Amino acid sequence: MCGRFAFWNEKSRILEHYGLDDAAEFKTSYNITPSSQIPVIRQGKSRELANVHWGMVPHWARDTKLQPINARAESITQKPFFRNAFKKHRCLIPVNGYYEWKKLDSHKQPYFIKLKDQELFSFAGIWDCWENPKGSLESCAIITTESSAMTAHIHSRMPVIIQPQNYEAWLTDGGEKFLIPYEEEMESWPVSTQVNNPRHQGEDLIHSVRV
């Protein structure tokens, strides 16, 4: 799964990377947690950045009690909870890296994971808009798949990563062909267990520690 990630880029970098003319203001953090408002890149009449709730609520839901943060690539086209969003509402989720926890004998050790040669990259995501008489909620989930050889020693799952040359195709055409492990080189290192606490937000969270 993917339950925490980091995103610290300035607006100018986001505009350049995603080919946007302008974008709404967004928050950055070294410890983004579920239920946060996070920026996503999606395709409307043109490509746009929107801030949405991390925790998926489909448009047809009776309430907002169930809010999964991840959608499994292997079943996303079959599960009613996700399949309509996968077909019609795909998005890119900008990140600089993410955290995963490795099971050890006595505890779970957090690791920070990133692409080796790209500071900014994108998770594959889906989004939807739930409405009721009191208002609406736009929300999203991160699509996950089996881990690559680079990350399997930490965890059995990883986010689906979309390469920049595939952004347009992912947003406009979609397709299960993109829902595969990222097999190119990645970096990872152990970090402080302070990341377990959502109140900790500083850059020190991604610094390497001894284990």
Residues with a known catalytic role: 2, 100
CA 162, CA 115: separation in Å to the nearest integer? 12
Residue keyed to tokens 């594959």 = 124
Phi then psi for residue 8, to 5 deg, are -135, 15
Please check whether residue 94 is in contact with residue 20, taking contact to mean a CB–CB distance below 8 angstroms.
no
Element (H, E) at 125: strand 121-132
CA 197, CA 121: separation in Å to the nearest integer? 25
User: Which residues have a Cβ under 8 Å from the Cβ of 184 and sit 6 or more positions away?
Assistant: 115, 116
